[in-house]
Structure 1
Amino acid sequence: MPEPLVLAPGLYIVATPIGNLGDMTRRAIDVLGAVTVIACEDTRVTGKLMAHLGLKKPLRRYDDHADVAARDGLIALMRAEPVALVSDAGTPLISDPGYRLVRAAQAEGIAVTSLPGPSALITALTLAGLPTDRFLFGGFLPGKDKARGDMLRELGAVPATLVFYDTGPRLADTLDAMATILPGREIAVARELTKMFEECRRGSAAELAAHYREHPPRGEIVVLAGPPVAPVAPDAEAIDAALRAALERLPMSQATKDVARALGVDRHALYRRALELQAEAP
């Protein structure tokens, strides 16, 4: 039998599966079997993984609500013992609070080792069929319309594929916002990654919004928007369509501002046209 792994004191960042338990690496299993304590988001979730692996280790909760005392306790322990940090799924520190623990450990001169492994962000990028030479990860999109719109406007000018995390109940609203704020871009939605019903659907934001309103998804989702497209002078029909879509969701001033920016047309002329469209509406 191989000798059991002996680890030096310090912090070990261990990626865990995002769905398929077969994605757990041999090195990750060995490290979890050798550490003294595992810091995790949810002891129930990590407990199930440990049971599947046939391992038993003390688990300490460390999440968004962890206080300084909890962090200090882990720092004190890892000065003398090996401590693992895991998230509920995927690579720790990606949209979770683990970076504070890493910074604190490094400030104390404690060795930090990161084990590469599963990540929904990278898995979705490889499936989406969108440019990957430059991408920007925006984390979770806000749930409220204004905050979501503000983030999309802020990042929309970046010449890169944009990647966001989202949830099933909010997905259609997110796609509606992208149709208005990021018009013309290819959009991809990746869900159930590494699981039996894995899906990556690509199309326009409007097409995908209609699909997912008819087929509401569950769970956490990755939404990707391709880089900005070269502007093409829109015709009157395209302008009216964009205005109508924006006016369904936004006040007139914001709708005309978004459409003007997206299509590169005069905002004042758009405002006048928006008034005409409202007057024509039944």
Structure 2
Amino acid sequence: MNEITVDIIVPTYNRSDLLPETLKSVQDQTFSNWQCWIAEDGETKETLDAIKPFLEDDRFIYLPGKHAGFPATPRNSAIRKGNALYVALLDDDDLWLPEKLERQVEFLKSHPNCVLLGCNAFCWTGTGKWDESPLYFKKNMLGKIRYKELLCKNYIVHSSAMLQRTAIEQAGLYNETLNPPIGEDYELWLRMGVLGEIWVLAEPYTIYRETPQTYYLKLDRRQNYQAAANIYEAALSGVGNKPSPFSYPENAHLAAACQRQRDFYLAGPRFLGRFRHKLTQKIKNIFNNF
């Protein structure tokens, strides 16, 4: 058997109704040299019953574990089990178009400096035709993403991401200690992005399913600012004993930019309100002087 090219990571928890459709979209890929890790956050009969038909295909591997309460832990467990050149990420309620892996593997082979690759996605509610759903991003926003653009906006839909294994291992995998446990994907992108190029394919090869559980944690504005500050701080600090790529001398300028983003959100929404007021007054003064 040829060496596996792509490890597909599918963490799951209480999604036995949607998980088979997700796995079918994996099985239907035109690129076939992959293995798919179904990493359950816990171990339930419902999940095992849902995936049994797929386990007849030896490319699917069931990986139950101790319940952690958030997906970073099962994701990391599966990533550590694999050894493929590339790591593709897929949430248990999202879907891939058949050519998704093929297009991304082709791109990464021709762009060896790319460590983080995403693609556009359809935003589907689960009703109606997915191909008539709006796109996640305008196509003209995509292509090669500068790091300072990534610092201001998450351009990578999680289920669209394909990563160079060497880069995710160097960055330190997912952070399992974020509090609150949101933005763990973006925090990983921030660490990985300093190690090479970031690209997003303009074509949509992923279907992002918006379900009632999609937004599982509701925060007010101040809490959102604090959560954002936590993400930037975590990226700067690194994971466990693994130093953050920001600590490398050649990345000092990017670390400084990340620190500015952290400090902005630490100042809170009142700071933003004052900033907007001052900016508006300055603009008014300029026009009044004409």
- Larger Rg, first or second structure (1 or 2): 1
Give the TM-score taking structure 1 as reference length. Answer: 0.28
Q: Which has the higher contact order (CA 8 A, sep 6+)?
A: 2
